[in-house]
Amino acid sequence: MENWLRSLVWMDYRLALLLTVIVPLALLVWAFVKKAEAIQRLLVIYWRVASLLMIVVYLMIFSWPYSFILSFCARILIPVSLWFWVDINEEIREQRRTRLRLAFSSWRWAATLYSLLGAIALVPFFSCAFTAGAIDTPYCRVWLEAPLLYKQLIHPNATPGFLGFLGFTGLFFYGLFLLYFLVFRLGKQGRTALEP
């Protein structure tokens, strides 16, 4: 059972790397080269929202139990960020059909499906956040293996406490920007992404 769970979790991290980092980065570069402004704007918004996934990695290195809840939130916010904007969606629909538009649309649907299925798959692991000591069980620790490998590769000399501090700092600023958006921008602009 544990090996089966481990292989599923590692598959999830590999898909996350592909669908939430590599493909959208390549699409962003392609959109800048082709001067596809609507796709550029949507991808910049995506990166702002998806940065919560990176914050989660740092908090998982620190073994913070509530990182499971934040991971769930990130997986819900990503599809919202990809489909929320009426003006950008309309602009993209009106663009002529190109390989970039096809690749972007395919990725947007794939990222949406992946994120929603990933959010559903995380629900059974909420106990890792809300049950005392559960984070230390093999059932929960399997989710920390990939972030710990990331630490070994990228931050071999940093302590988990310092990386956790970076994660909490990122979470603080992410929360401030999200609060600003919800309180000021959303009420003023609604589902329009353009600045006033």
- Between 113 and 182, the more confident residue is 113
Continuous segment of H or E residues that includes residue 71: helix 67-83
What pLDDT score does 195 carry? Answer: 56
What pLDDT score does 185 carry? Answer: 83
With a cut of 80, say whether residue 1 has pLDDT above it: no
pTM: 0.91
List, for residues 83-137, the tens digit of each pLDDT value.
999 889 899 988 889 999 999 999 999 999 999 999 999 999 999 999 888 888 9
Q: What is the mean pLDDT of residues 190-194?
A: 73
With a cut of 50, say whether residue 143 has pLDDT above it: yes
CA distance 11 to 29: 26
List, for residues 14-68, the tens digit of each pLDDT value.
999 999 999 999 999 999 999 999 999 999 999 999 999 999 999 999 999 999 9
CA distance 165 to 130: 21
Supply 159's token pair: 């302590």
Contacts of 70 (CB under 8 A, 6+ apart): 52, 55, 56, 59, 171
- The count of residues in the chain is 196
CA distance 23 to 139: 30
With a cut of 50, say whether residue 196 has pLDDT above it: no
Domain positions in the chain: 2-189
With a cut of 80, say whether residue 194 has pLDDT above it: no
